Structure 1
Amino acid sequence: MKRYLYFLALITVLLSCSEKKQYEVANANDYNKYLTVETPKTTSKYFELWNSKIRADSMQLTSFGIVGGEYNRFFKETGDIDYLKKAEKSLQRAVKIAAVGRAGYRRSLARNYISQHRFKEALVLAEEALEIGSDPRENRYLLFDVHMELGNYDTAEKYLDSIKNMKDFGYLIRLAKWNDYKGDLDTTINFMEKAKAIAISSNNEALILWSITNLADYYGHAGRLQDSYAHYLMALELDSNYAYAKKGIAWIVFSNDKNPEEALRILDSVTKNYQAPDYYLLKAEIADYMDNDLIRLKNLNEYFQKVDNPSYGDMYNAYNVGLFIDETGQYEKALELAKKEVFNRPTPESYSWLAYSHLKMGNLEKAKELMDNYVLHKTFEPALLYQAAEVYEANNDAEKVKDLKKELIGAVYELGPLMERQIQEL
């Protein structure tokens, strides 16, 4: 931890000396040492000890909970869906046999379901945990999280109000998320910075890692790219294998520094051992910018091969809708999958994909109706606003297109270089 605090102080000094204008942010000398490929460890003496206690007819409750937690950690470190499914099985068994800690095991299984985008199943478990009654604050945290994922924003706000405590890390990160949903990025960052300070003071490495990577994302949305870059580096100082931080740096290198070859080099080092499918989509996007069809198609193929695994379930529905529209031209397939996603998760994002699918099918009025009722003024995500702009342009609503274009021009970094020309042509 002392090493981290020293690194934090150094970064603070560097930031205070930096100019505010946009310029090339990343420097390979800062992150090269983190690109050395190390195979993540997917076992430990701790895991083996508790896993050895499980038998086919085992009633070892503690073993199931601990093993499930370890499988979840392995999933985060490798991106391998099989570990998430193994965690699910262990936690399902714990829920089934638990006489004590019943709410806690339900919360753990619910969070596993959230990771799998099985939000309605997660809600059932969260409500059961609340009814059991132990750890009421943790139960309300979970219910806020699930309702946000489901697009039940009024209900989520009620749970947020019920846990108010400005000195509590769990409350502050959710308050930040709520303000991000409302489009108030400055307030979002303010609360995340407070949460980060609490994490550091608690000496909890996992919370520090979580808070600084989320801050890095928010700083990027705000155009504070030097701050964003510095925080991704902080994360790698804590965990040199942290794929998400490397992905964040790769995006800065690609979108701001316009160095796609270097961005691919970073991502190639990640995907040697990290298996999450969306990393291949990012590599394909970068290759598209480079006009390198060989690399683009190779990575698209890698993506499709991975998501063909039925264990992924509905986790990549939104990505697949986009690919059916932009890559394969399977508009009817996109429409059906978008309808499924709205049923699973009726958020502005899901409705935007549904509207966009209708647009591509030629159902212009239906697309506009969906955007009017479920997307416009209900989200501030640039990718969704661009879809809305396309729908309104097709419906000859020049005023709305003009307003959306103003917002999109300020979000070119978030959308990436490939979108810059498309925004200008609106």
Structure 2
Amino acid sequence: MRRLLLTALLAVPVVLGAGGLAARRPAPAPGAPAALVAVGRERRIRDDDIAFYRRRIAGDPTGAIDLVKLGALLLQRARGTGDESDLAAAEASARRSLANRAVRNDAAWQLLAGALLGQHRFVEAREAAERLAALDPDDAPRRAVLGEIELELGHYPEADALFARLAPRRYTPALAPRYARWLELRGHAGEARRLLEWARDAAWRDEATPVDQRAWYELRLGELALRFGALDEARRRLDAGLALVPDDWHLLAARSRLALAQRDYRTAVELGDSSLARHLDPATLAAVGDARRADGDTAQAEQYYRAMEAATRGPGGGFHRAWYLALLDHDRRVPEVLAAVTKDLETRRDAYGYDLLAWALYKSGRIPEARRAAARALAWGTEEPQIRAHADSIAAAR
């Protein structure tokens, strides 16, 4: 995946020229050197463990446990790097483990569900999660995984039933993030924030919590604050995350979007380019282009937009909604995006899917249909500002 995106970006040489992406060195956060040493140590241990289990599996390909351990490490690495090849390798490890041991191999089903979820293959992930939950119906974390996938598919009554039964146990680290996501989607963003704060504090109290997991909580809270316009809170959270993992591309991209919202365009470009140097994300390309345009550099902005268009032609995995939203926001390839989201809704009828459909119809000038889709997006009571802003624009259109 990274090779595909790199090829796409190299097709736009102006971005990579003087003052562009390749010419920039990532800007470390304050205190970054010590933090990078700690993070680097954890990554080296993880990569050494991956190499170790690959050697063991080569010597004994008929085992099951080592394959699960290898897959879990690959899945952990993929979450940090965005490398889809690691997701595919984690899936392959899970399937090989299940082929080697069909019974009493719950960990392989859990790994398979996680790898498929990471690839946005939600229907298949649901099948794996159902198999996992059926092996122990009383296991709350397994039910939470299934509930998360039901949310992604837009099966809200099923998700409601699952999470309602988990309410007494929501203040446990294994459940809290998924339960918070359910609260957020069902119109309770304040409760979601409080639960995430509890989980973040619990992670800090547990000395065994990896640094990148602690940083993830800051990212999650920072993005939530950013979406709801609490910019000072977003900055505090995202800067806290970057103090832990200064080179995390998710945090750098989110911090770039925050700088753009604060009209600090040069910081938005600098942080966005730092993120792109680590992971070539089309939505971040669009954000940096917006910052360039707002700062008066329309020529460079256009190069970023062209790079965004090229990069979105590369994905070999699942449907990437943030990428298509970026295309719509910049009036690029609207008919193609409309066709893609229409197909996606055949299996994934959630609020974000209907919002994307509404926005694509609006950009296509099909206002009555856009209004009907926007109503479907709002029907389940979400407080998501993006969905409501789109609905307001569509309602005001003539």
Consecutive unaligned residues of structure 2, counting only runs of 5 or more, are 1-26
2:371 is aligned, of 353, 368, 372, to 368
Q: 1:49 to 1:170 in 2, by over 3 A?
A: closer
**1:199 is matched with which residue?**
203
- For the pair 1:188 / 2:181, whether they are aligned, the reply is no
TM-score, normalization by structure 1: 0.76
Q: % of aligned pairs identical?
A: 18
Matches of residues 363-402 of structure 1 in structure 2 within 5 Å? 363-375=366-378, 378-394=381-397
Q: 1:205 to 1:295 in 2, by over 3 A?
A: farther
**2:318 is matched with which residue?**
313
Q: 1:390 to 1:114 in 2, by over 3 A?
A: same
Matches of residues 1-150 of structure 1 in structure 2 within 5 Å? 31-34=29-32, 44-55=47-58, 58-99=61-102, 101-133=104-136, 136-150=139-153
Contact 2:71 2:94 in 1 (8 A): yes
The one-character-per-residue Cα deviations of 1:237-281 (angstroms, maximum 9, x if unpaired) are 33232222222322222212x211111112222222223333222
Distance 1:138 1:317 in 2: 27
Contact 2:338 2:357 in 1 (8 A): yes
Q: 1:325 to 1:299 in 2, by over 3 A?
A: closer
Q: 1:339 to 1:90 in 2, by over 3 A?
A: same
2:260 is aligned, of 234, 254, 259, to 254
**2:350 is matched with which residue?**
347
**1:232 is matched with which residue?**
238
Distance 2:359 2:217 in 1: 34
Classify the secondary structure of the residue corresponding to 1:44.
helix
Higher RCO, Cα 8 Å, sep 6+: 2
Greater mean deviation of Cα atoms: 196-205 or 344-353: 196-205
Q: 1:302 to 1:135 in 2, by over 3 A?
A: farther
Contact 2:30 2:243 in 1 (8 A): no
Classify the secondary structure of the residue corresponding to 1:53.
helix
Contact 2:29 2:246 in 1 (8 A): no
- For the pair 1:283 / 2:288, whether they are aligned, the reply is yes
Distance 1:31 1:202 in 2: 25
**2:17 is matched with which residue?**
none
Shift of 1:83: 2.0
CA RMSD, 1 decimal: 3.1
2:268 is aligned, of 263, 288, 291, to 263
Matches of residues 319-338 of structure 1 in structure 2 within 5 Å? 319-320=323-324, 322-323=326-327, 326-328=330-332, 330-338=333-341
Shift of 1:135: 7.0
- For the pair 1:295 / 2:304, whether they are aligned, the reply is no
Q: How many residues align?
A: 365
Shift of 1:47: 1.4
